[in-house]
């Protein structure tokens, strides 16, 4: 089996072991209802991690996802407040997210600014724009229509719509990444940009596409976030971009580009989600969560590096495979 698959299997095992350990003392944690709740609670992180993974595959990073999310969520809430139907609000959030992603992408592709600088800049700009739109005021529950707030929670075949959306995104992106030319191009661009040019792949345009996808997913999550918590303000999901990057790193996505999978990103997000939901159950103060996820990131990156460490060339005959 390939290295990548075994890496994901290991992560899945770690999550399973952790869950069983908790279940040994607190059986309630593994009741299907509760597990579904954990998945639902982690859905936004899962969706964003998939988008971030694609960006990281192409040797870039998108630090503006959380700010993008906040801006799109606010826009959806304001449009909804202005009387537009839910579908239009959600569509607008996704479209706006994609456009904001496109803005990042253009700056990386056409202007050639490193993505970390671009998204560092746009993350402050996006948050600032929310302030300009609202003058710093909150949009509260009573300013949103009932269907707007209800959609993510409404139950379909036993699961909330938000969970179904996460599942749909997982499925769609798994197919896209493995079965389409664009999907394979993301890996090619990050794995060997020089060779990608010789293959007829436009590196900048592929990075642009990654930012657009990441942005669109951020827009979708923006709506989900605002509707779920029934509130929108400048600072929602503040610092969440780091959780998203953390989920990718824990999921085995290489920051150097070209290595990663949807499965890994989902598992990385679930790992963080299980910890977050388990802490109150096992009676550890939620203040521990940050240190734990930090430790997990460091262990994950150390593990990934030890797996992919390059050994010297194999020249000696007896050592040859």
Partner 1 sequence: MSVAPTGRTLPDRQQSRVARALRSWEALLLVVFIAVFTINSFASPYFLNAWNLSDATYNFTEKALIAFAMAMLIIAGEIDLSVASIIALASTAMGLAMVAGFGTPVLVLVGLGAGLLCGVVNGVLVAGLGLPSIVVTIGTMSLFRGLSFIILGDQAFTAYPADFAYFGQGYVWWVFSFELVLFAVCAVLFYALLHRTTFGRAVYAIGNNATAAQFSGIRVARVKFILFLLTGVMSGLAAVCLTSRLGSTRPSIATGMELEVITMVVLGGVSILGGSGTIPGVVLAAFIMGLVTFGFGLLNVPGIVMSIFLGLLLIGVIALPRLFQTRLLRRV
Partner 2 sequence: MQPVLSLRGISKEFPGVKALSSVQLDLFPGEVTALVGENGAGKSTIVKVLTGIYQPDAGTITLDGQAVRFATASAASAAGVTAIHQETVLFDELSVAENIWLGHAPRGRFGLIDRREMRRRSVALLDSIGATLNPDQKLKDLGIASKHLVAIARALSVDARVVIMDEPTAALSYKEIHELYALVETLKSQGKAILFISHKFDEIFRIADRYTVFRDGQFVGEGRIAEVTESALVQMMVGRAVDQIFPKRSHNIGAPVLTVAGYCHPTEFADIGFTLHRGEILGFYGLVGAGRSEVMQAIFGITKPSKGACRIEDKVAVIRSTSEAVAAGIVYVPEDRGRQGAVKGLPIYQNVTLPSLNAVSRKGFLQLAEELKLARDYTQRLDLRAAALDQDVGLLSGGNQQKVVIAKWLATKPQVIILDEPTKGIDIGSKAAVHAFMAELAAQGLAVIMVSSEIPEILGMSDRVIVMREGRIVAEVAGDAMTPAALVRAAAGIGEAA
Q: List interacting residues with partner 1 (CB under 8 A).
A: 61, 107, 111-114, 116-118, 120-125, 127-129, 131-132, 136, 234, 239, 242, 245-246, 249, 255-256, 285, 287-298, 301-302, 305
Q: How far is the CB of 314 from partner 1 (least distance, A)?
A: 21
Q: How far is the CB of 178 from partner 2 (least distance, A)?
A: 8
Q: How far is the CB of 198 from partner 1 (least distance, A)?
A: 18
The SS3 call for residue 155 is strand
Taking a C-beta distance cutoff of 8 angstroms, is the pair 11, 271 a contact? yes
With CB under 5 to 8 Å by kind, the binding choice for 98 among partner 2, partner 1, none is none
Those residues with Cβ within 8 angstroms of residue 268's Cβ, 6 or more apart along the chain or in another chain: 11, 49, 246, 247, 248, 249, 250, 251, 252, 253, 300
Of 157 and 310, the one with the shorter C-beta distance to partner 2 is: 310
Of 305 and 319, the one with the shorter C-beta distance to partner 1 is: 305
Q: How far is the CB of 78 from partner 1 (least distance, A)?
A: 17
How many CB atoms are closer than 10 A to CB 179? 9
How many CB atoms are closer than 10 A to CB 220? 27
How many CB atoms are closer than 10 A to CB 175? 12
Q: Which two tokens stand for residue 278?
A: 């388990």
Of 201 and 272, the one with the shorter C-beta distance to partner 2 is: 201
On the 0-12 / 13-18 / 19+ scale of CB atoms within 10 A, 167 is: middle
With CB under 5 to 8 Å by kind, the binding choice for 301 among partner 2, partner 1, none is partner 1
Of 141 and 299, the one with the shorter C-beta distance to partner 1 is: 299
With CB under 5 to 8 Å by kind, the binding choice for 288 among partner 1, partner 2, none is partner 1
Those residues with Cβ within 8 angstroms of residue 142's Cβ, 6 or more apart along the chain or in another chain: none
Q: How far is the CB of 40 from partner 1 (least distance, A)?
A: 24
Q: Which value, to the nearest 10 degrees, does the dihedral of the CA atoms of residues 62, 65, 71, 74 take?
A: 170
Secondary element (H or E) of residue 159? strand 159-160
Nearest to residue 292, comparing CAs of 255, 246, 240, 226? 246
Q: How far is the CB of 268 from partner 1 (least distance, A)?
A: 12
Q: How far is the CB of 56 from partner 2 (least distance, A)?
A: 13
Taking a C-beta distance cutoff of 8 angstroms, is the pair 104, 64 a contact? yes
With CB under 5 to 8 Å by kind, the binding choice for 198 among partner 2, partner 1, none is partner 2
With CB under 5 to 8 Å by kind, the binding choice for 120 among partner 1, partner 2, none is partner 1
The site for partner 2 (CB under 8 A) is made up of 2, 175, 178-181, 184-185, 187-188, 191-192, 194-202, 258-259, 311-317, 319-321
């Amino acid at each position: 089996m390939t290295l990548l698959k075994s890496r994901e299997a290991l992560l899945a095992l770690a999550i399973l072991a952790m869950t069983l350990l908790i279940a040994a003392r607190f059986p309630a944690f593994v009741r299907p209802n509760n597990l579904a709740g954990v998945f639902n609670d982690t859905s936004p992180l899962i969706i964003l991690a998939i988008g971030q993974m694609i960006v990281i595959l192409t040797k870039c990073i998108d630090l503006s996802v959380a700010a993008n999310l906040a801006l799109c969520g606010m826009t959806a809430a304001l449009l909804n407040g202005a009387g537009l139907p839910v579908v239009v609000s959600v569509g607008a959030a996704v479209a706006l997210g994609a456009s904001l992603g496109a803005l990042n992408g253009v700056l990386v592709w056409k202007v050639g600014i490193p993505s970390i600088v671009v998204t560092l800049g746009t993350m402050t700009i996006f948050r600032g724009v929310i302030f300009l739109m609202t003058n710093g005021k909150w949009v509260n529950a009573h300013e949103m229509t009932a269907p707007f707030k209800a959609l993510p929670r409404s139950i379909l075949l036993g699961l909330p719509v938000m969970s179904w959306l996460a599942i749909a995104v997982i499925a769609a992106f798994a197919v896209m990444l493995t079965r389409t030319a664009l999907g394979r191009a993301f890996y090619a661009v990050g794995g060997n940009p020089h060779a990608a040019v010789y293959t007829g792949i436009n590196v900048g345009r592929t990075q642009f596409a990654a930012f657009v996808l990441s942005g669109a997913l951020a827009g979708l999550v923006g709506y989900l976030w605002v509707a779920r918590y029934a509130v929108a303000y400048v600072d929602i999901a503040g610092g969440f971009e780091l959780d998203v990057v953390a989920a990718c790193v824990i999921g085995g996505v290489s920051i150097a580009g070209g290595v990663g999978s949807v499965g890994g990103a989902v598992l990385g997000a679930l790992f963080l989600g299980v910890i977050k939901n388990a802490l109150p159950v096992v009676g550890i103060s939620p203040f521990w969560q940050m240190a734990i996820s930090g430790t997990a990131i460091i262990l994950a990156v150390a593990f990934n590096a030890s797996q992919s460490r390059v050994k010297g060339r194999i020249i000696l005959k007896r050592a040859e495979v």
